[in-house]
């Protein structure tokens, strides 16, 4: 079976703890279910958005960011970077992100969620914080991220999946300032949302 056209590539696993999410990997997964897609390198695209999270347990929510970025055809990476478990990695990540071409960082964390603020303190890149649901229903995460003292901003989104999805949309809006094609894709996304709402059919009472 011929390979579908793939615009980006995927590399992830224990060693790099890094996921380059390809734009068209889903058809590839469907048509080649037995393949080890970790080993497939089709074409390299540097990520523009980095989706980081404090723990693997945040991925259920943070994958909404990654999915939205994939849908909008935005090269991105997703990885675990913990402020309290891997503080050196966090500092290195924040320092090196601009040089790697990253333009926006989305940081999800739960509980005493200091990751977004600590990363924002070490870079001039825009940092969008996503409060992950916690034992206190995400209220602790929300307050930890949104209540940054003056001087180091973190753009804070809603708690949970809606926030993760909106973080990607906000990152897209930032990138679209200098990318007319992406702006067009965002307009299409909004239009579809409008059409879906207008075409809503309610079931009988």
Interface contacts to ligand RP5, rule CB under 6 A: 53-55, 57-58, 82, 109-111, 132
Distance CA 124, CA 126 (A): 6
The strand order across the sheet containing 155-156 reads: 19-21, 76-80, 49-53, 104-110, 127-132, 155-156
* Beta bridge mates, 105: 50, 127
Distance CA 77, CA 90 (A): 15
CB of 66 to ligand RP5, least distance (A): 16
Q: Which CB sits closer to ligand RP5, 58 or 77?
A: 58
Q: Which CB sits closer to ligand RP5, 11 or 63?
A: 63
CB of 53 to ligand RP5, least distance (A): 6
Q: Which CB sits closer to ligand RP5, 129 or 155?
A: 129
Q: Which CB sits closer to ligand RP5, 54 or 75?
A: 54
Token code pair at residue 138: 């995400």
CB of 164 to ligand RP5, least distance (A): 12
- Each residue of 151-180: b (16+ CB within 10 Å) or e? eeebbbbebbbebbbbbbbbbbebbbeeee
Q: Are 22 and 9 spatial neighbours (Cβ–Cβ below 8 Å)?
A: yes
CB of 18 to ligand RP5, least distance (A): 18
Beta strand pairing call for 19-21 and 76-80: antiparallel
CB of 102 to ligand RP5, least distance (A): 20
Q: Which CB sits closer to ligand RP5, 57 or 147?
A: 57
What is the total residue count of the chain?
A: 205
Q: Which CB sits closer to ligand RP5, 17 or 45?
A: 17
CB of 111 to ligand RP5, least distance (A): 5
First to last CA, the chain: 49
């Amino acid at each position: 079976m011929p390979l579908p056209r793939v615009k980006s590539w995927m590399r992830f696993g224990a060693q790099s703890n890094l996921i380059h999410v390809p734009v068209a990997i889903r058809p590839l997964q469907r048509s080649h279910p037995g393949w080890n897609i970790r080993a497939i390198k089709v074409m390299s695209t540097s990520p523009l958005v980095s989706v980081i999270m404090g723990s693997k347990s945040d991925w259920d929510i943070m994958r909404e960011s990654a999915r939205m970025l994939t849908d909008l055809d935005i090269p991105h990476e997703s990885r675990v970077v913990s402020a309290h478990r891997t503080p050196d990695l966090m500092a290195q990540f924040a320092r090196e992100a601009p040089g790697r071409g990253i333009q926006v960082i989305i940081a999800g964390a739960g509980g005493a969620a200091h990751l977004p603020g600590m990363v924002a303190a070490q870079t001039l890149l825009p940092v969008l914080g996503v409060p992950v649901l916690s034992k206190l229903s995400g209220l602790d995460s929300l307050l930890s991220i949104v209540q940054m003292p003056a001087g180091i901003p973190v753009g804070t989104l809603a708690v949970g999946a809606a926030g993760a999805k909106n973080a990607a949309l906000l990152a897209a809006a930032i990138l679209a300032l200098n990318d007319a094609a992406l702006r067009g894709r965002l307009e299409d996304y909004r239009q579809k949302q409008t059409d879906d709402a207008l075409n809503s059919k309610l079931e009988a009472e």
